[in-house]
Amino acid sequence: MRTVIAKYIASQAEHHGYEGGAASLVCAYDEPRTPPVLSFRNHTAFNLTHHLVLETQRHANVFDDLTGNALIEYWLRVAEKKEFQIAQIRVLPNHCHLRVRLLPAMSMLECVLALMNNSWAMMNSRFWGVLKQTDAWDVWEPSFYAATIGDVTTAEVKAYLKRAD
Domains of the chain, first to last:
2-164 (3.30.70.1290)
Parallel, antiparallel, or unpaired for β 85-92 and 39-41? unpaired
Whole-model pTM: value is: 0.81
Reply yes or no on whether the pLDDT at 23 is more than 50. no
Q: What confidence score (pLDDT) does residue 1 get?
A: 44
Reply yes or no on whether the pLDDT at 24 is more than 60. no
Spatial separation of the C-alpha atoms in residues 158 and 2, rounded to whole Å: 20
Beta-bridged to residue 101, according to DSSP, are: 49, 85
Q: How confident is the model at residue 78 (pLDDT cuts 50, 70, 90)?
A: very high
Spatial separation of the C-alpha atoms in residues 46 and 156, rounded to whole Å: 11
Percent above pLDDT 90 for the chain: 55
